[in-house]
Amino acid sequence: MDFRDTPEEASFRAELRTWLQQNLPDGWQGMDRSDWTSHSDRLDFLRDLQAKMAADRWIGIHWPSAYGGRDATPMQVAIYNQELARAKLPGFPTVIGTHIAGPTIAQLGTEEQKARYLPKILDGTEIWCQGFSEPDAGSDVAALKTRAVDVGDAFVVNGQKVWTSYAHLSDWCLLIARTDPDPGSRHAGMTGLLVDMHSPGVEVKPLVQITGDAEFNEVFFSDVRVPKENVLGEVGGGWNVVISTLMHERANLGTGLQIQLENALNQLVELARRTGHASDRLTRDELARHHVDAMALRFTIYRTLTDVQRRGAPGPQGSVVKLAWSQLNQRLNETATHVLGLAHQLRRGDERAPDGGLWEYSMLRSKGNTIEAGTSEILRNILGERVLGLPKDPGRS
């Protein structure tokens, strides 16, 4: 593929870059969490920024224009992610809505559901979470046990979800529950439901991570009534909701993460220079290896984009990107640990911490990279079976 922007792509990039320059605060250098007096200040800032972006159609650009998007091509989405990463914009807490729930509702929802939910997802008025994983059904969604019982005009939901990002902030949940306890097939008998997180019987318990943050949660549903107009797709058609959702999730991985990783690598090189480790042969070898891996990841992402443009949908090769990025990010942070030595243990808030404690936080957060959005083990199975044509793992049915 040609790595240069076409004239149309260059114009799109320039328009977005100009918008960001004009609408981000003066002197913007990115958002360090330690710069904000409280998480509520950070959330308010991001929601106000998203409302501005939505007004000018710079949120959900991959959505159909009829629903507030721009009908963006895969390459435009890649450029968009690159520019937001270069501007050091953090992830919005509305990301589940804009990248997962919203596109799935646009694809499978009724016209009434689209009119009700999509505008408020785009402008950040309502935050969404995704209720798939359970204590005994993480990567294997078909093993879920949460039940939804038909009571006439509604379903009554009982069960538990876990690792639910942003549930503590969310207004709505895209939930998968079992509506048929004996479907004959483990992938049948599930239904997608749009659940009001303020309903009686919904209990959210934040899970504190090793970083000290609580990005995800346990969610308990006790006799929660969900009106039947909140069924997404067909009753019993939940597996179709699952597949559609995961396709949207994987389609949006890649370019933004790639730029963030390359930014981090540049910061690491500068750190090595400041501390004198740039002259150390072992450190130089590690940095060179990271650079080679980062370039390989960049061109793998470009190849995946080309495949999407040709076929119209992401294939299983996209699993390579997530697998490679997650492991490279962990290796990069391990190098930072070696460069800083004992100083790496100084946490955010300690004035002695190098770079404000960035590397200590980043190293701890990176430990989750090989679990979230598909574990490395699951991704290797996908690649082995669907890309390399190897037989299925004998331990899986």
What residues are annotated to the active site? Answer: 249
- Check: CB of residue 366 under 8 Å from CB of residue 330: yes
CA-based nearest residue to 292, from 326, 321, 265: 265
Q: What is the dihedral of CA 384, 389, 394, 397, to 10 degrees?
A: 100
- Check: CB of residue 335 under 8 Å from CB of residue 290: yes
**Centroid of chain to Cα 390:** 29
**H or E stretch at 321:** helix 318-340
Sequence-separated (6 or more) residues with CB below 8 Å from residue 288: none
Kind of pairing between the strands at 190-196 and 172-178? antiparallel
- Check: CB of residue 154 under 8 Å from CB of residue 228: yes
- Give 158's strand partners: 147
Strand spans (E) along the chain = 128-131, 147-150, 154-165, 172-178, 190-196, 202-207, 216-227, 231-232
Buried b (16+ CB within 10 A) or exposed e, 70-90: bebbbbbbbbbbbbbbeeebe
